Amino acid sequence: MRWVRPSVALVVGAIFFVPLYLVLVNVFKQGGKIASSPATLPVPPTLDNVVSVLTRPDQLFWVSLTNSIVVTVLSVIVLIVLSAMLGHYLARTRRTWTRVLTLVLLAGLMIPPQVILIPISDVLRIAGLMATLQGLVLFNVGYYVPFGVFVFTGFIRGVPVELEEAAVLDGASRSQVFWRIVFPLLRPATASVMIFLGVWIWNDFIDPLIILGPSQGTTITTGIYRSIGQYQADLGSVFALMALATLPVLIFYLALQKQFVKGLTGGATKG
Partner 1 sequence: MWPKVWHFLSFGAPGVLIYVCFVLAPIVISFWYSLTNYNPFNPPISYVGWENYFLLFQDKEFLTALKVTSILTVIVVVVPNALGLGVALLLDRPGWLYNALRSVFFTPVILSSVVVSIIWSRLLDNEGPLNTFLRFLGVENPPGWLSDPDVALYSLASIVCWQMLGFCVVVYLAGLQGVPQELLEAAQIDGAGPVRRFRAVTWPLLAPSLTINTVVLLISAFKTYDYVKVITNGGPGAGATATIAFNVLATGFDANHVGYASAMAIVMLLIVAVVTAVVLKLLQRREVDL
Which parts of 172-211 interact with partner 1 (CB under 8 A)?
174-175, 178, 199, 202-203, 205-206, 209-210
d(CA 91, CA 88) in angstroms, rounded, equals 5
Residue 70 vs 82, nearer CB to partner 1: 82
Burial class (CB in 10 A: 0-12, 13-18, 19+), 54: middle
Q: Site for partner 1 (CB under 8 A): which residue of 112, 160, 184, 229?
A: 112
Residue 164 vs 192, nearer CB to partner 1: 164
107 makes contact with partner 1 (CB under 8 A): yes
Residue 49 vs 221, nearer CB to partner 1: 221
Residue 46 vs 179, nearer CB to partner 1: 179
Q: Site for partner 1 (CB under 8 A): which residue of 38, 45, 128, 158?
A: 38
In angstroms, what is the minimal distance from the CB of 121 to partner 1?
8
Quick note: the x/- pattern for partner 1 over 82-101, rule CB under 8 A, is xx-xx-xxx-xx-------x
244 makes contact with partner 1 (CB under 8 A): no
43 makes contact with partner 1 (CB under 8 A): no
Quick note: the x/- pattern for partner 1 over 209-238, rule CB under 8 A, is xx---------xxx-xx--x------x--x
In angstroms, what is the minimal distance from the CB of 47 to partner 1?
20
16 makes contact with partner 1 (CB under 8 A): yes
